[in-house]
Structure 1
Amino acid sequence: MDSEGTEAYLRPRARLMSTLGEELISNERVALTELVKNSYDADASLVLIRFNPPLEEGQGSIEVWDDGHGMSPDTVRGTWMEIATPHRHRNHRSESGGRRVLGAKGIGRFAAARLAHVTTITTRRVNEPEVTLRINWGNFTQGDAYLDEVPVTWSTASPSVFAVGGEAERNFAEVVRGFQTASAGASVGHGTVARLEKLRMPWGPDAVEALKRSLSRLLPPPPPAELSVPDQPEFAIYVDTPDGPLRHHAGFVAASETLAHPLYRLVGTVDAVGNAHLAVYASGDEPVEVVEENLRKDSDRPSCGPLKLDFRVWDLEKSALEPLFHIDTGSKNLTEVRKLIRDNSGVALYRDGFRVQPFGEPGYDWLGFDQRRVNNPTMRLSNNQVAGFVYISADENPGLQDRSHREGLIDSPEYEELKTVILQAISKLEIQRYKLRRPESAVKTTSQLLVSPPQAGGHGVFQSFNLDPLRQVATERYPNDVVLGRAIEEATATINEGVRKVQEIISQFSRLATLGTLVDVVLHDGRTALARIAFDLRRLRKITGKVEVHDTDLSGALGELHTDFTAQERALDRLFTRIEPLSGRQRGRPRELSLHQSISEAVSVLESEIAKHGVIVTIGGEDVTVTAEPGDIRTLVLNLVNNAVYWLSTTPSETEREILIETERAQEGEADVVDITVSDSGPGVREEIKDLIFDTYFSDKPDGIGLGLSIAGSVVKDFYDGDLWLVSPGALSGASFRARLRRRVG
């Protein structure tokens, strides 16, 4: 029968709870962090996390105690038991402490489902009865019941846990001995404890250590005085572990002493329109550089809002770490010092004084530091040598919104702008670090291409080709699977052999006589090695597909490794493509050609980028005829014009953006020479880096590789006995580069 205008209603199945808890929260550390954040929002000054053995899967328990204001029966029924309650949207500040609350979506409380099969919550508000809820999460996944058909057991009673002489008082008394906090003299008549029973995973030393490390970054370490970050609310976390192997992990969660002793530091602010005031420090109390400039570079994206930045950086070679070894960081040797730095590495994002997950986790490289280092290992920092602290607020940075699964930020234009601004800032520190580490007699040779400096300790593209994490997961889950084990061993062998061949090729750089021969060998043997790696990655993809139907966790681990390896393989391929024009094997026979025509053809390659940024390119001067290989002129002009377009794009859009390319035949003594000069109306080359710009791998761009000028200079020098230099002053107001060709110019 036809009907019209009939209304229907969505009705969730009870298994939705599994999605909210077990599947929406990525891991147990994040789940415990969510419970700690709930305590913070409840104005707690102390949180106690207690591990009760046996800490095996399906056994034991974890208790999370706090001395917050607790909940009344009405709050439990009317707010806590409402999924996605709008309570926090209406109340952005905590009840009594005035803290900017961290919860907003009303689903963080279900993180308990990720940790244990049963949750018992006991809570009490001052002058209210004590409320106890008991939730068996398995009840929500059985059958086809609807959410409102699965009961939650709850009761009210006279206070016993949160009463004078009760369990809460005894627990807090043990913790606060010798620790002065608001909870030491506070009333014990309020608070909350969540008992997580029948654990979903075992908790060994490594897991507890990783938890403490993650919790230690929830609140940032004391910021420098000049940053003017608001004082943090008094809030402490204590982890209590049982006797045995875990006992030495007991204690208050605190930032590592290592963070107080960086080798380099970047501190400063960026306002909403991008104006930055940054200070760069290097092993001293006085800045080596103060940066006052706009970091948004006339971006067309919406502003991410104002930021405060505190970046701490270390070099990981022995000579740089020896001073740290003599400081009381708890390290016994240099290996442990490196581990401390790596364990505390990552760039953390703090909103209103509390960390947004998972920003700041050592392996969460959200700014792409490691990929930048792959492209430029000499100059760029890797994620494991940086501990960064970025401060924002919910009120001043409204475009930076949390994802629904509580981890990371929504991919919005504001988020992209945030990353761009931060990379612009960190590049200022990288430049100063490069200058301090650069030998006084730096020799600009092509042997530096693709090669990490000896002091880099093996960091860079090759370190990422490592199947150890995969082997560990497979061994734990399938110890008797011979076929899977053999496949992993074969994959490891193939990748290691490919990497070994690429490394052998690179090690020959210093022994090769000319740039053309060097690139010829790299392209031939390097691409052969990459082809073997690519073949093995396809095999890894097939294994991932077969495993997925049996074990989604292992499949996910395989997928992540495949993605990482593929990125590294592509990074090498891009580097090979970039130097391909220099291959002696692919160079054609030099012939007579018009410079203006060759330059015009080179500029046309960048036509879309030139149009995008509104740049006017003029080719002038004498149209000289030379005997040259067209690819050489193209390589020279492309690199110079590409640089000019980038720097012009950083100027205000209302300014005139011009590039002038001039050619002329000139005299040098009694010999004829040909000059090609590329000038622009951009910001020019800063005085303090003029002697660095021709160094291989040096770049003033936040994501620059630093090969452009080096390659252009090599073409001019090796094939035309010429030079490339910076002209001052130039034909236009910005940078001006002149290439002088001395050979084949008749």
Structure 2
Amino acid sequence: MARLRPRARIIRTIGDQLISGPEAALIELVKNSYDADASSVRIRIEPKSEDEAGGLLTVEDDGHGMSAADLVEKWMEPATTDKIERRVSPSGRRMLGAKGVGRFATAKLGRYLDLVAAYKSPGRRLEVTELKIDWDEFYTRKYLDEVNILFSSKVGGRGDRPGVSISIRELRDSWTSHRLEALVRELRRLASPVGARETSFRIHLDLSSFTEATAGFDGQSIVAGALASLNEKDVDPTVIRPLFNLDHVYHYKVSGTFDASGRFKGAFVNQRGDSKPVPIRIEPSALEEGEEKCGKIKLRINIYDREGEAVDDLIERLGLDGVGRLDARRLLNENIGIGIYREGFRIRPYGDPETDWLELERRRVQDPSLRLGHNQVWGVVEIEDEGDSGLTERSSREGLDHNGSFLRLKRLVTDLLVTVEQDRQNFRQSAGFSRKKAGDTSDVRKHAGLRTIEREINQLPPRYRERFTRALRKDSAALKTAIEDLESYQQALASRSTLGLVVAQVLHDGRRFLSDITTRSKGLADGASRIQEKSAFGEHFRSSFGKNAQSIHQSAGGLNKLFKALDPVSGRRRGRPTDFDASRVMQRCLDLFSDAIQREGIVIEFNNEGSSLLVRGYEADLMAALLNIIDNAVHWLGTSPARPRVIRITTGETKKYVRIALSNNGPPIDDRFHQRLFSPGFTLKTEGSGIGLAIAREAMRGSKGDVAFDGDARDVTFVIEMQRSRE
């Protein structure tokens, strides 16, 4: 029977190549100290000599240590399952390690490892165990079991205390000022601002050996940070602390929890306004294709405005008096980002300024005034362990696997930000911090008569009045003509925007029809010369001729139907309003979404109250309104776990109007958004443009009708009103 026999260099492969860099390797050792119930870990780095030789790195903690048996049976066993099986430390901390390879990060840092572990079991004396490893031996020896590791154990002395001390000599990397700055940034972001307080776990970094004489720079000032003079006095200069206390400094904040189903419950706070928490409730969305559940998520995200006055406000709150706006923006950029944390510790690289894992900058291109940028957010997203969340950390310690659970996490947080962006935009527009987007022309038309000027002219002496009145009427007529031209242009834009909603369906159906026509017509053309042939082929060709011709005819009819459906939104000259059957237009719109309706498992219910649905206006206007409302309904039903998913169409009529109500049982719309639903640019879709409902309303007003949202209805309901036919 053959057996696997690992080569000795597999350990170096794990240590040197699986761990991404020296910063990541050192963080693995810090996490091991946390898992050992240490209250603190102390790191000291001494630089290499001028000839790039030597160097020393030590990591010491005051945890429970390791016994000789632990070292042999666990530490020296690659991929041990010890932490997976225990999951909780003796003092109750949830274990950060699970892969069983983090200790081999020491091979990444230097050639020689000296480890001293002190451990005291109940009722026994302190045991001190030491092992020494030359990592280069794992290249000179052929197989793993041929490597000899120096190992000894003894009874501890009077001054010995439990814990682990690691010394690494002959460092592989030069710790330059740039690399040390990167390390300090990593350590500052390692512990969650909340988790660090709860666990009382402290990280100390001693860089005092880096001086102008030995390294060309002052190492300890790197630990203090660029704003060392602003930090508190009489504080241990080696302690790692966040550069800014961003936890309590923000313009806007959203915090809360997603439960395991994806339901969010939290609050939004606006410190530039009244600072009163506004509750946020978001119902769980259905899993999209490729997504899997990601467990419970707790988050807190701070949001910052970046215009001059807002930056001045942050400077004052952070105590950065004397720092200019440019430097303040640079410092904010270096300490911004949304980190993902597990058991109080950050998962690299989420939260780095360079890692836009939510793709905020890509979204912001669509609408910079509404969408948040990566440099406007700071936050903590806390996830559960791998077993409960499905969010697995890569062995390289460079992020999470991009599996279905990660896709779900990303979408839940992004969808929450979409809601928050609208709350922030509402306030900024009302407070005058951002420009309002252009609306319809109704207000302009109302003032086009220049009534105020007309009243003043009427107060003039008669000899002047006629001349001014003629000039006023001329200008008023010109203004009204310009408004009509603008409205015509708006209608053309609405037609083309609506056309975009049907293009995908047209291409899908059109290709299907054309493929059938092309294939069958080619078969008929190729066999036409043998149509009278007395053979098996000729007999088969003649018997299938009628079927193929009929199929071509049906596909051609399908194409013709598509073209007719597009005709009302083609943007041609409108002419006079006409009488038409709204039910036919409604069915055409539903047909265009038939594939999406079927894919999402949506049921269409009609509740006709006996109205004829004969209306007067323009088919293009009704089609534009229906397409946008149905498009929104299909989208939100696709995110809803509700079953069955239903679009309900109810019709009725009054003496003057026909009423069409379109309802769906998708996610409800929060009350605070009702007033903005038809505002251009307003959207709760992650990738939305915010013009759909605005187009729907403008289109219906072009036919002397209207679209409204029914906030009192049980389901999400939009109501279209259109003039009844004169017949």
**Do the two structures share a fold, i.e. TM-score over 0.5?**
yes
1:427-442 alignment, distance < 5 Å: 427-439=418-430
The AA in structure 2 aligned to 1:319 is E
Counterpart contact for 2:664–2:717, Cα < 8 Å:
yes
Indicate the residue corresponding to 1:500 in structure 2.
none
Q: 2-side partners of 1:663 and 1:56: how far apart?
A: 89
Over residues 449-495 of structure 1, what are the superposed CA-to-partner deviations in whole Å (9 max), with x where a residue is unaligned? xxxxxxxxxxxxxxxxxxxxxxxxxxxxxxxxxxxxxxxxxxxxxxx
1:739–1:596: structure 2 CA closer, same or farther, 3 Å change rule?
same
Q: 2-side partners of 1:596 and 1:513: how far apart?
A: 26
Confirm or deny that 1:408 pairs with 2:408. Answer: no
**Equivalent residue in structure 2 for 1:30, among 15, 20, 24:** 24
Indicate the residue corresponding to 1:211 in structure 2.
183
Counterpart contact for 1:46–1:238, Cα < 8 Å:
no
After TM superposition, give the deviation of residue 351 of structure 1 in Å. Answer: 1.9
Confirm or deny that 1:287 pairs with 2:281. Answer: no
Counterpart contact for 2:249–2:318, Cα < 8 Å:
no
1:512–1:654: structure 2 CA closer, same or farther, 3 Å change rule?
closer
**Equivalent residue in structure 1 for 2:596, among 606, 609, 612:** 609
Counterpart contact for 2:11–2:138, Cα < 8 Å:
yes
Counterpart contact for 2:496–2:571, Cα < 8 Å:
no
After TM superposition, give the deviation of residue 745 of structure 1 in Å. Answer: 12
After TM superposition, give the deviation of residue 697 of structure 1 in Å. Answer: 2.5
The AA in structure 2 aligned to 1:76 is L
Counterpart contact for 1:57–1:199, Cα < 8 Å:
no
Q: Secondary structure at the match of 2:145?
A: helix
Q: 1-side partners of 2:623 and 2:6: how far apart?
A: 63
Confirm or deny that 1:687 pairs with 2:671. Answer: yes
Indicate the residue corresponding to 1:8 in structure 2.
2
Q: Size of the alignment, in residue pairs?
A: 576
Confirm or deny that 1:252 pairs with 2:236. Answer: no
The AA in structure 1 aligned to 2:66 is M
After TM superposition, give the deviation of residue 432 of structure 1 in Å. Answer: 1.8
Counterpart contact for 1:135–1:152, Cα < 8 Å:
no
After TM superposition, give the deviation of residue 436 of structure 1 in Å. Answer: 0.9
Q: 2-side partners of 1:354 and 1:445: how far apart?
A: 46
1:41–1:203: structure 2 CA closer, same or farther, 3 Å change rule?
same
Indicate the residue corresponding to 1:135 in structure 2.
134
After TM superposition, give the deviation of residue 252 of structure 1 in Å. Answer: 1.5
After TM superposition, give the deviation of residue 83 of structure 1 in Å. Answer: 0.9
Indicate the residue corresponding to 2:199 in structure 1.
232
Indicate the residue corresponding to 2:647 in structure 1.
658
Indicate the residue corresponding to 1:276 in structure 2.
264
Confirm or deny that 1:367 pairs with 2:362. Answer: no
Indicate the residue corresponding to 2:536 in structure 1.
none
Q: 1-side partners of 2:101 and 2:28: how far apart?
A: 10
Indicate the residue corresponding to 2:685 in structure 1.
701
1:479-498 alignment, distance < 5 Å: none
Q: 2-side partners of 1:57 and 1:215: how far apart?
A: 29
Q: 1-side partners of 2:373 and 2:325: how far apart?
A: 19
**Equivalent residue in structure 1 for 2:294, among 304, 307, 311:** 304
Q: 2-side partners of 1:401 and 1:683: how far apart?
A: 30
Counterpart contact for 2:629–2:718, Cα < 8 Å:
no
1:709–1:389: structure 2 CA closer, same or farther, 3 Å change rule?
same
State the TM-score, normalized to the length of structure 1: 0.67
**Equivalent residue in structure 2 for 1:90, among 68, 85, 93:** 85
Q: 2-side partners of 1:29 and 1:649: how far apart?
A: 43
Q: 2-side partners of 1:427 and 1:708: how far apart?
A: 16
Over residues 320-344 of structure 1, what are the superposed CA-to-partner deviations in whole Å (9 max), with x where a residue is unaligned? 1212212445572222322333223
Q: 2-side partners of 1:741 and 1:606: how far apart?
A: 26
Counterpart contact for 1:56–1:203, Cα < 8 Å:
no
Counterpart contact for 1:295–1:425, Cα < 8 Å:
no
The AA in structure 1 aligned to 2:41 is V
Over residues 531-555 of structure 1, what are the superposed CA-to-partner deviations in whole Å (9 max), with x where a residue is unaligned? xxxxxxxxxxxxxxxxxxxxxxxxx
Q: Secondary structure at the match of 1:222?
A: helix
1:625–1:393: structure 2 CA closer, same or farther, 3 Å change rule?
closer
1:135–1:383: structure 2 CA closer, same or farther, 3 Å change rule?
farther
Counterpart contact for 2:597–2:634, Cα < 8 Å:
yes
1:330-409 alignment, distance < 5 Å: 330=320, 332-394=323-385, 397-409=388-400
After TM superposition, give the deviation of residue 36 of structure 1 in Å. Answer: 1.0
1:10–1:326: structure 2 CA closer, same or farther, 3 Å change rule?
same
After TM superposition, give the deviation of residue 57 of structure 1 in Å. Answer: 10
After TM superposition, give the deviation of residue 34 of structure 1 in Å. Answer: 1.1
Q: 2-side partners of 1:519 and 1:634: how far apart?
A: 11
1:674–1:230: structure 2 CA closer, same or farther, 3 Å change rule?
same
Q: 1-side partners of 2:240 and 2:591: how far apart?
A: 59
After TM superposition, give the deviation of residue 637 of structure 1 in Å. Answer: 3.0
The AA in structure 2 aligned to 1:148 is D
1:682–1:142: structure 2 CA closer, same or farther, 3 Å change rule?
same
Question: What stretches of structure 1 of length at least 5 have no aligned partner?
Answer: 1-6, 166-186, 224-228, 448-510, 523-580, 668-672
Confirm or deny that 1:641 pairs with 2:624. Answer: no
Q: 1-side partners of 2:51 and 2:35: how far apart?
A: 30
The AA in structure 2 aligned to 1:191 is V
Indicate the residue corresponding to 2:164 in structure 1.
191
1:392–1:319: structure 2 CA closer, same or farther, 3 Å change rule?
same
After TM superposition, give the deviation of residue 40 of structure 1 in Å. Answer: 1.2
User: More displaced, 25-34 or 399-408?
Assistant: 399-408
Q: 1-side partners of 2:494 and 2:24: how far apart?
A: 48
The AA in structure 2 aligned to 1:123 is V
Confirm or deny that 1:148 pairs with 2:145. Answer: yes
Larger Rg: 2
Q: Secondary structure at the match of 1:436?
A: helix
1:512–1:247: structure 2 CA closer, same or farther, 3 Å change rule?
farther
The AA in structure 2 aligned to 1:154 is L
Q: 1-side partners of 2:32 and 2:184: how far apart?
A: 18
Q: 2-side partners of 1:660 and 1:191: how far apart?
A: 71
Confirm or deny that 1:267 pairs with 2:255. Answer: yes
The AA in structure 2 aligned to 1:122 is L
Question: What stretches of structure 2 of length at least 5 have no aligned partner?
Answer: 120-125, 224-237, 441-485, 498-564
1:704-743 alignment, distance < 5 Å: 704-713=688-697, 720=702, 724-728=706-710, 733-738=715-720
Q: 2-side partners of 1:409 and 1:647: how far apart?
A: 28
Counterpart contact for 2:246–2:378, Cα < 8 Å:
no
The AA in structure 1 aligned to 2:276 is P
1:338–1:104: structure 2 CA closer, same or farther, 3 Å change rule?
same
After TM superposition, give the deviation of residue 280 of structure 1 in Å. Answer: 1.1
Counterpart contact for 1:22–1:111, Cα < 8 Å:
yes
Indicate the residue corresponding to 1:68 in structure 2.
63
Q: Secondary structure at the match of 2:193?
A: coil
After TM superposition, give the deviation of residue 730 of structure 1 in Å. Answer: 8.5
Indicate the residue corresponding to 1:321 in structure 2.
311
After TM superposition, give the deviation of residue 729 of structure 1 in Å. Answer: 6.7
Counterpart contact for 1:699–1:705, Cα < 8 Å:
yes
Counterpart contact for 1:92–1:101, Cα < 8 Å:
yes
Q: 1-side partners of 2:274 and 2:438: how far apart?
A: 35
State the TM-score, normalized to the length of structure 2: 0.68
The AA in structure 2 aligned to 1:706 is G
1:50–1:675: structure 2 CA closer, same or farther, 3 Å change rule?
same
Counterpart contact for 2:6–2:144, Cα < 8 Å:
yes
Q: 1-side partners of 2:618 and 2:133: how far apart?
A: 82
The AA in structure 1 aligned to 2:178 is D
The AA in structure 2 aligned to 1:38 is N
The AA in structure 2 aligned to 1:431 is Q
1:163-174 alignment, distance < 5 Å: none
